[in-house]
């Protein structure tokens, strides 16, 4: 069984200019077609309902709890308390806790970058202190030379 193929020629459109306004299968009326540059979904995708359910968990994780650190009682968030417990277990030798902690914090690479940044800030402070001390020393020398010239001229 062969299927008949209907060819659409451009010349046919030129001969029948009224065909543009025809309404039918896959040809909606002109007034209901999408305008150029206008989205088919102007309000966008609706927000997902689970975002509302996420807030109670966040609220719970931000609640203050009392922990004892170095013999002193402190108020920290639940999130911080969990991380502190995880770090303590990792230091005690629990490899699963260490792996989870490293994964959660971004690994050792982030710690190295943070350490470099902290060291750079400390270095900059030290450089600034040395610069101020050297400027003061140079100014003192200049003042002493100016004082000797004034004494010689008098």
Mean pLDDT by 10 residues, the chain (154 residues): 58 55 85 78 72 70 89 91 90 90 75 73 83 85 74 60
Same domain, 141 and 151: yes
Same domain, 115 and 86: no
Q: Is 72 helix (H, G, I), strand (E, B) or coil?
A: strand
Q: What is the model's pLDDT at position 20?
A: 64
Same domain, 95 and 122: no
pTM of the model: 0.39
Q: What is the model's pLDDT at position 81?
A: 92
Residue 114 is part of which domain span?
A: 107-154
Same domain, 121 and 136: yes
Same domain, 90 and 120: no
* Residue 124 structure tokens: 């900059």
Q: What is the model's pLDDT at position 73?
A: 92
Same domain, 89 and 118: no
Same domain, 57 and 91: yes
Q: What is the model's pLDDT at position 18?
A: 60
Same domain, 115 and 76: no
Ordered alpha helix ranges (H), the chain: 10-15, 50-61, 78-91, 95-105, 108-153
Same domain, 146 and 111: yes
Contact 109, 101 (CB under 8 A): no
Q: Is 84 helix (H, G, I), strand (E, B) or coil?
A: helix
Q: What is the model's pLDDT at position 6?
A: 61
CA atoms within 13 A on the CB side of 6: 2
Measuring CA to CA, how many Å separate 23 from each of 27, 31, 40?
A: 5, 11, 20
Q: What is the model's pLDDT at position 148?
A: 66
Same domain, 77 and 61: yes
Looking at the 3D structure of the chain, how many domains does it have? 2
Q: What is the model's pLDDT at position 22?
A: 83
């Amino acid at each position: 069984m062969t299927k008949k193929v209907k060819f659409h020629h451009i010349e046919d459109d030129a001969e029948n200019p009224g065909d543009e306004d025809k309404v039918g299968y896959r040809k909606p009326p002109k007034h209901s077609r999408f305008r150029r540059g206008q989205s088919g979904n102007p309000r966008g995708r609706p927000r997902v309902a689970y975002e509302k359910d996420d807030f109670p968990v966040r609220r719970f994780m931000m609640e203050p709890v009392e922990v004892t650190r170095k013999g002193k009682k402190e108020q920290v968030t639940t999130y911080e308390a969990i991380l502190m417990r995880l770090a303590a277990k990792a230091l005690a030798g629990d490899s699963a806790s260490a792996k989870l902690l490293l994964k959660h914090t971004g690994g050792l690479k982030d710690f190295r970058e943070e350490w470099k940044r902290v060291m750079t800030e400390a270095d900059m402070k030290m450089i600034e202190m040395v610069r101020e001390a050297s400027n003061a020393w140079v100014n003192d020398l200049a003042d002493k030379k100016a004082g000797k010239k004034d004494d010689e001229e008098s």
